[in-house]
Structure 1
Amino acid sequence: MQETIHYITRELKDLYPPGEIRQFVRLILHALRGYSLTEMIVKSGELFSAGERSRVSNIVARLKMQEPIQHILEQTLFHGLDLKVNPAVLIPRPETEELVDWIIREYSHPPLRILDIGTGSGCIALALKKAFNTPLTEACDISEKALTLAQENASENHLDIRFFKADILQWEKCTQWNSYDLIVSNPPYVTLKEKKLMPANVTDFEPWSALFVPDEEPLLFYRHIAAFANRHLQNNGSLFLEINEKAGSEIRELLMQNGFNTPEIRNDMQGKPRMVKAVRNY
């Protein structure tokens, strides 16, 4: 196994930073052998078969073409869950795991009703369902392909989520909503002018509809989510959002205009303001 790890590192060291290569190694070995990080260390002396070495070589060749590792493997790890991913959904990221961690720490007693808006692969809803075993966990998306994949992930992980199609930009036309104790969303928030700053393995392979908003309306989704949450959150219910690091002050003001008390903005592990919590008090 060590020989394979050295091969992956050697072939990719001029293309990717060391931390990303370590993540590739972790995901590749998990996909090939199902090993956890601890098992990778304990079993580092094991040898790979010719078939496994051939598969690793193919994966490395595709990584050199900037294809996301999660698309190559058709799976990823998120908050202890094995999830399927494909080009129809945004690849779950560590920052979103941090948002989930924050939510879990905030609740000494599980919320009774949860909604995940723009669920994509289902990663947030599934992680919260696993953590809380909430009686009602719902998740919506505008994409049929995303909802199909999210339902597959729920079934594979034996978690009961109610998925349904809805466009949050036209939320008043949907009749499937309930009232909720917790609403969470990681909506599109990257402006088109920021696209040129993003790596090709994101812009060339992930769905633009899950990433980008018009330059002239960067808070498009937050404006609709805030209005929706104002209507559908229970008293003292919480809204958690992943945000553009440049938009924290504007989002805080937007939420306060929609009846939320002193929204709290939190930094991610890289020190960037990427998450917000707001409580609705009637």
Structure 2
Amino acid sequence: MLLKQYKSYFSEQLSSIFPQTEINTFFFLLIEEYLGFQRIDLTLQPTFEVLSDKKRLLDEALARLKKEEPIQYILGKTEFFGLPFNVDKNTLIPRPETEELVEWIVKEVEKSQKLLSILDIGTGTGCIPISLKKQLPNMNVSAVDVSEKALIVAKKNAELNDVEVSFMLQDILKTKVLNSKFDIIVSNPPYVRELEKAEIKNNVLENEPHLALFVEDNNPLLFYKKIADLAKNNLTKTGLLFFEINQYLSKETVEMLKDKGFTKIELRKDLFGNNRMIKASL
């Protein structure tokens, strides 16, 4: 089958599930991965024929897309903050909003000429600490997660990006005290309430790890409260706490931090205009 014919077939198979722009993105990502083709190559080589072994790979990917499996899991990788990251179903797929959180931290750290220590809580793929270490190579960066399988992915991503990050298996909810003081503590913990599941797309709901996504409706700030308590005891005098937050609970999160003694609290919106990030200090 000619590649241009397969493109039409590919679009037809997915047209009832995804918008055409998204289908095109999927197609070009797949032909780049499996054929080494760029978008322009489809125009330059209109008679290119897809051999059976490559067609099989494309067909398998198409079948998984029809089940609304994320393209990142199909490819086993994604990009975050301009860096490559491995992903699998043990890790959340890094989001653009989280890139904004990393950028905010980088700008704050660059204001200081000191050697700082940074801790990421609930690291997943390791996208936050690895990106921070890449941008701030002189900083001491650590990360923890409750999932051993997620940490395997995170460690591979650190190697992939040639950075040193200290990873540790740790259930933060059972942690009474952190092992040292930190200048920056950052976390993007589970924050989606069960009642918000109706808003979540199937590709996320049916594929990404619920452990890293959801919290009970009756205690949605569970992780934030715990991490704030730990931060009170383990931040340095000029230390900063950064959170990615649930947009619907921004006021509640700010109030919780005030109640716990944090005085300098800044709430920021993400690129979509949602209240998404908080910086706080004591």
Give the alignment's TM-score, normalised by structure 1.
Answer: 0.87
- Cα offset for 1:108? 2.3
- Equivalent position of 2:218 in the other structure: 216
Alignment coverage as a number of residue pairs? 274
- Equivalent position of 1:128 in the other structure: 132
Paired with 1:101 and 1:210, the residues of 2 have a C-alpha distance of 22
Contact 1:113/1:182 (8 A) holds in 2: yes
Contact 2:28/2:39 (8 A) holds in 1: no
- Equivalent position of 1:144 in the other structure: 148
* Identity of matched residues, %: 42
- CA-atom RMSD, angstroms? 2.4
Give the alignment's TM-score, normalised by structure 2.
Answer: 0.87
Contact 1:114/1:134 (8 A) holds in 2: no
Q: Which runs of 5+ in 2 are unaligned?
A: none
1:87 to 89, 93, 96: 89
- Cα offset for 1:199? 1.6
1:57 to 59, 65, 78: 59
* Cα pair distance change 1:262/1:82, threshold 3 Å: same
- Equivalent position of 2:100 in the other structure: 98
Which amino acid in the other structure matches residue 191 of structure 2?
Answer: Y
Q: Which digits, 9 at most, give the CA deviation of each residue in 1:49-94, with x for residues without a partner?
A: 4243432232122101111212211111111222111111111112
Paired with 2:200 and 2:29, the residues of 1 have a C-alpha distance of 22
* Cα pair distance change 1:71/1:41, threshold 3 Å: closer
1:160 to 137, 161, 164: 164
Paired with 1:226 and 1:172, the residues of 2 have a C-alpha distance of 12
Q: Which runs of 5+ in 1 are unaligned?
A: none
- Cα offset for 1:160? 0.6
For residues 1-282 of structure 1, the aligned pairs below 5 Å read 8-18=10-20, 20-21=22-23, 23-25=25-27, 27-32=29-34, 40=38, 43=41, 45=44, 47=48, 49-50=50-51, 51-109=53-111, 112-172=116-176, 177-278=179-280, 280-281=281-282
**Secondary structure of residue in 1 paired with 2:164:** coil
- Cα offset for 1:224? 0.4
**Secondary structure of residue in 2 paired with 1:24:** helix
Larger radius of gyration: 2
Paired with 1:107 and 1:258, the residues of 2 have a C-alpha distance of 24
**Secondary structure of residue in 2 paired with 1:58:** helix
- Cα offset for 1:22? 5.0
- Cα offset for 1:203? 1.6
**Secondary structure of residue in 2 paired with 1:274:** strand
* Cα pair distance change 1:30/1:256, threshold 3 Å: farther
- Cα offset for 1:19? 5.2
Paired with 1:153 and 1:34, the residues of 2 have a C-alpha distance of 23
* Cα pair distance change 1:11/1:214, threshold 3 Å: same
